Amino acid sequence: MTLSLLTPLLFFVSVAAGLLGSLTGLGGGVVIIPVLVLGFGVDLRYAIGASLIAVIATSSGAAAAYVRDGFTNVRIAMILEIATTAGALAGAWIAGYLPLAAISIIFGLVLLQTAYNAARPPVARPFDAEPDALSTRLGLNGDYPATEGPAAYFPRRIPQGFAVMFGAGVLSALVGVGSGVIKVFAMDRLMRLPFKVSTATSNFMIGVTAAASAGVYLHRGQVAPALAGPIALGALAGAMLGAKLLPRVRTRTLRIIFGCLVALAGIQMIVKGATGTL
């Protein structure tokens, strides 16, 4: 396939991936990588490198709006980014030594978990109304816009959240996705942040995590501009379109369809990794 045909094709595929990822809240990387590997025959490591660039673009576009609207806790994000960035560097280093078959199987398992989360979207949990001593010392308590006015919240279990974030960074670098599901789990379930604050803060962090691991892939020469350019632009356009369509779209059915497609892709990635047919 010629470059003049491949570039617009990659752009429009990435628009669709970014749109689906934005509408379902699960990110476009879980679509982009299987399409590149299974549909276009791209080497998995180059597909991961291109996806990480796209994650940086989409996260940067959405993060500004969340910060402006007051949902993102920047202090929490900066502290937890120490863990995710260290994890991303470790994961990118590990990825250089793992065989493609192992990475493919790991990615397939991540896709299956993503499909499960798509069919069973997370539910906001009640948060604690009493301040935590460590959180108070670090200045992490905050508030976010609610229908009745600013609502205060008090994070807790900061060390446990920090440890989980390291694992999220490793996974992000290994398979080229933002691992937002793990980040939201850590903040929503462990640290007891309101769900909207968790998702907004996770989105803010995803781009920084991806940038750390993308630097390692770039250094290895595994970021191809011909792939990364149209994919990043397309994913960003799709994510922005999804943000505009979200209030008017019924996402429940869309999440189920998306989950089925991702599950099929996950099974294929596991089979290809197990049989060595990548």
* pLDDT, tens only, 35-73: 888 888 888 889 888 888 888 877 776 677 778 878 888
Q: How confident is the model at residue 28 (pLDDT cuts 50, 70, 90)?
A: low
Query: Which residues lie closer than 8 Å to 258 by C-beta, 6 or more apart?
Result: 20, 24, 26, 118
Q: Give me the number of domains the chain comprises.
A: 1
Measure Cα distances from 146 to 12, 68, 70, 71 in Å. 36, 15, 10, 10
The tokens describing 249, both together, are 């779209």
Burial 125-138 (b: 16+ CB within 10 A, else e): eebeeeebeebeee
Given CA atoms 64, 69, 167, 115 in this order, what sign does their dihedral have?
negative
**What's residue 152's pLDDT?**
86
Q: How confident is the model at residue 243 (pLDDT cuts 50, 70, 90)?
A: low
**What's residue 166's pLDDT?**
92
Is residue 87's pLDDT more than 80? yes
Given CA atoms 86, 87, 89, 94 in this order, what sign does their dihedral have?
positive
Averaged pLDDT of the chain: 81
pTM for the whole thing? 0.78
Enclosing domain of residue 116: 3-275
Give the chain's count of helices (H) and strands (E): 12, 2
Q: How confident is the model at residue 260 (pLDDT cuts 50, 70, 90)?
A: confident
**What's residue 169's pLDDT?**
87
- pLDDT of 95-105, one tens digit each? 888 888 888 89
Q: Which residue from 216, 186, 181 is spatially nearest to 111, judged by alpha carbons? A: 181
- CA–CA dist 114, 269 (Å, integer): 14
Average pLDDT over residues 164-177: 84
Residue with tokens 């960003």: 236
Given CA atoms 243, 245, 250, 253 in this order, what sign does their dihedral have?
negative
- 18 vs 228 pLDDT, higher one: 228
